[in-house]
Structure 1
């Protein structure tokens, strides 16, 4: 059985090493000799983390903070389970270092993150154009819940993923706008193309990205701080558009179910269930009441993989 969310495991210490070398704004905050010997163990990485923790006690530029975001997310991705809590603490500290909610800042941060993660995914022996999205999607629940800054960065990233998957014109400003705009990008993707040409991983990226956008923005009661910062679009679209979205994903779900019936691929069945519980049922519930905070899953109402 294919592990749909496993591609992030392609990120290795050697790739982290190459990315850190690329993050020039951070080079003063750790011992360069460590990188000259390369990063081979968690102990080596811990020394780098300690330097970043000290950096967070200083006055940092936007370029330095943005580089820390990239480093902290990648450090979480390569961490062993027993030290993930420490890596999460570093990520939370980075995302709570300062208020970077201005649209121009979110745009800059999102562009830099995408560039750094595309570079990281390109270092793997075998990679696809969407592997960097899988890296982010694994860490996204942690980024979303870390801070309001993390939430807006995540929404900007998710919007950019969908735009790239839909082959849309390059985004001018990498910031979240509203679900209706994201839906307009999704609906341009031909369903037969998805079924005949896309891999299971790529389909997963699409439905996971849309689902996270939906639950984080339109179905989240805790976006008051973002509204106060001037952002809008934190609600479901009107009933007609909502019905369009539901019907499109129901059609995709049914076609995937037919495909599962034909070849018995369990990962396809997981996609079917994911659409059922994380998009279609969310839309149905959202019409009458707001769903729970992203990351706090309601029993039997949501699944993840």
Structure 2
């Protein structure tokens, strides 16, 4: 089995805080990402959202569409309403060959609000958990029938954040609900991404590779910062520039025959962390960890 290396445009321009990298055109993101060695990109706010427009742009740069974020509101609307709302996004991913959809429940989320610390993130009642899981099963079944699997993204500041949250979600949904393992978010939430990979290897369909600067994370927790302030302070970085043991994690992926994308998705201020420099650093970090783990990389 082989993996492919992709990157998220957050390295250049931020969706949660659009002022970061606002002046950077899509052309720069794509050309520098390709120069750094990546084979594909996830979607960002500067990407056209129809396959007719986006396909030729990616083809011009020799890039594939990896996936794209979808903001779910299943706690507020029915599965049928969510399926209706997801159609354009699903069509885009399916048309351009993406096999996984980055999917996150955002009802009452706080990660995009710089004034609210992540400690005040929403926590679901038992009834809400049942509602989310049952509706998510229906949406996931529909997407999988269309050839795109939901990759549920546990995310700071949302209803599914901690390791216990992820376990409860996985244990109460069908296999059609895939897991997006985000190393940086899991460590930030106090969990262990390596343990989670080991225990739910068969459910992982997508991996976000962001590293953590432990001393900056400790400061963010100590001062009870918002997610965006933690980003601005430099909590996240690219693989190999922080404390996460990627070779061990990737050995687990190799043992589980993982054959999806490994995506550098490290939110930083591009005015501080030069995008091309960190894109190259992230690519090299992934290559080195893959070599140590025996994971074969394909273009």
Q: TM-score, normalised by structure 2?
A: 0.32
Structure exhibiting the larger radius of gyration computed from Cα positions: 1
Work out which structure has the larger RCO, using CA pairs closer than 8 Å and 6 or more positions apart in sequence: 2
Relative to its length, the structure with more helix (as a share) is 1
Relative to its length, the structure with more strand (as a share) is 2
Q: TM-score, normalised by structure 1?
A: 0.31
